[in-house]
Amino acid sequence: MSPQKLASRKDYEALVGKYDTFLFDCDGVIWHGSKAVPNIQSTLGMLRSRGKRLIFVTNNSATSRSDYVTKFTKLGIQAAVEEIFSSAYATAVYLSEVVQFAPEKVAYVIGGSGIRKELQEVGITTIGQEDTTPVDLATLAEIEPNASVGAVVFGIDYDITYRKLANAHINLMYNADCLFVATNDDRTLPGGKHVYPGTGSMLNSLIHSTQRTPLVMGKPNKPMLDCVMQKYHLDPARTCMVGDRLDTDILFGIKGGLSTLCVLTGVADEASILDPSAPQATYYMDSLGDLSELDASSA
């Protein structure tokens, strides 16, 4: 069945009435960079006023959950740490609770402060952020495996260097039992007017050089799905996943047996949503902010 376009107050009422829980991607759905999507504050306020549970599920590992709360607050949006589930947090939970990462080991991290902060909060020491010094053929020999590295964790890194890639490579190749974990493998990253290389595009360099396949935590992969379903005890029939990417957000919802809503404020356009070969959203609409038409006074 083709995705249903929501474009009227009647459509909006039917959507809101059908679900108890809404999962939201952030970039391209709630905001663009540092700017909120128009009317999004009113939309989220309306959903809360009707007793809906809101959960923000993001593949962006550059920001910790506590820093996300700060960002939400600056944009005039209510959100609690417990309502935010990021790929960085999922990675920390996986290493600490599933793998039971050895306390004497460290994680070599290619990524931003968000993933390092989440790992440190569960007691995992991180290294790698200091590896910004340029390297050349004459200095490559100084890069050696570090026996204390028990995992290489790869997330979005806006300051990625060859030295970081070389250190990650050498530890994955020569450290026995070194885990290879990626927060997500998004091919692109929305950045306002344009899209740019995402985590997956940089991650491929290590996959190619090591011939190893990482465990990918983020949407649409099973580890993230299992963590979200278990943490929030979701009823799939009463849950809707809202996103702007068909290959991550919408596919994530489909794999979880959830209804899905794709918005046109991010990566996907109407033609791609209606392409029968693409993951098929249940619904689509111009902007999540359009639900603000159902303001609190009409509840």
Q: Which residues are tagged catalytic?
A: 20
| 182, containing H or E segment | strand 179-182
CA distance linking residue 62 with residue 198, whole number of Å: 12
Written in H, E and C, the secondary structure of 115-142 is HHHHHHHCCCEEECCCCCCCCCCCCHHH
CA distance linking residue 139 with residue 163, whole number of Å: 10
Contact of 87 with 217, CB cutoff 8 Å = yes
CA distance linking residue 265 with residue 269, whole number of Å: 8
Contact of 250 with 264, CB cutoff 8 Å = no
Indicate left, alpha or beta for 102 from its phi (over 0: left) and psi (-120 to 50: alpha). beta
CA distance linking residue 258 with residue 277, whole number of Å: 19
Number of Cβ within a 10 Å radius of residue 165: 20
CA distance linking residue 285 with residue 262, whole number of Å: 7
